[in-house]
Amino acid sequence: MEGMFSNAQRAEVLTAALPYIKKYSGKTVVIKYGGNAMINETLKQQVMEDIALLWLIGVKVVLVHGGGPEINETMKRFGKEAKFVDGLRVTDKETVDIVQMVLAGKINKTLVNLIQMKGGHAVSLSGIDGGIIEATMKDEALGYVGQITKIRPQPIQDLLEKHYIPVISTVASDRQGNTYNINGDTAAARIAGALNAERLIMMTDIAGILMDKDDPSTLLPVVTREDAKKLYEQGIISGGMIPKVDCCIDALDHGVDNVTIMDGRIPHSILMELLTDEGAGTMVTKG
């Protein structure tokens, strides 16, 4: 790989990135990390490199993560079977303890460690810390699945001002001390809104919004809020894409400038999206 590019080509790449570095340096970018990029070890390393690089050029990066597959794996070890209703995990008291242990413990600390190995300075947070995410029970049938009632961004802002990368797991609490599992996309959207982030990047296992879900060449690079309404009506945004786009619109409503649904399976897709002309995925804008 080293010999593939001359020094002149490398210099050209860096020069081409300069306007984007200027644009995002000092700005807040929230990244929702999930999907295959969390499972595939090579992709995981590349995502952490991208985050460290952005931090080194002065971008205020906030990483929000889920961890569904690892929660399922741990539940199996405890002899518990994962149950879902409309795509949401049914979470009894024992399950929420497992969720907290896996998300706020194992996954969160592993990601912090990886970022630091790549040269960034990261700090672990959960939605419970400093009351960042306050929640209430969404639906008794789902158990301890939370609906966000309040975001307190101050602890995140304090860390960003001290030049750290906050790495946030999506568990929350209520005023009675109950713990809740929160949908990662929803949490990322609301956190990005509360921070008035310049960008929210949602990493997924799909190319973005496609006119034909089976044809990657039909990718829509930009979709406005008005376009999205029409795409819902036409059934082009359907299935698992509906909650993703709902979260994008939620983020726009709460103050984010634009949101990108991005294919996390593409190596260094974050850098492609932020530091090149090409981008990666579908950008959802206010229009």
Strands 165-169 and 60-65: parallel
At the topology level, CATH places domain 26-285 in: Carbamate kinase (3.40.1160)
| Residue 1, pLDDT above cutoff 70 | no
Q: pLDDT tens-digit profile of 141-186? A: 899 999 999 999 999 999 999 999 999 999 999 999 999 999 999 9
Residue 143: the pLDDT is 93
Domain boundaries, the chain: 26-285
- The values of phi and psi at residue 166, to 5°, are -75, 130
DSSP state, residue 106: I
Residue 2: the pLDDT is 53
Task: Give mean pLDDT, residues 68-88.
Answer: 84
- The values of phi and psi at residue 47, to 5°, are -60, -45
Q: What is the mean pLDDT of the chain?
A: 92
Structure tokens given for 214: 């089976």
Residue 3: the pLDDT is 58
- Under 8 Å between Cβ of 221 and 277: no
Residue 259: C-alpha distances to residues 82, 134, 262 (Å): 30, 23, 9
Strands 122-126 and 165-169: parallel
What angle (nearest 5°) sits at the alpha carbon of residue 252, between those of residues 244 and 200?
A: 65
Tell me how crowded residue 58 is: count the other CB atoms within 10 A of its CB.
13
Residue 62: the pLDDT is 98
Least confident of 26-35, 41-50, 60-69, 233-242: 233-242
Q: pLDDT tens-digit profile of 188-211? A: 999 999 999 999 999 988 889 999
Contacts of range 234-237, beta carbons closer than 8 Å, 24 or more positions apart: 236/209, 236/210, 236/211, 237/209
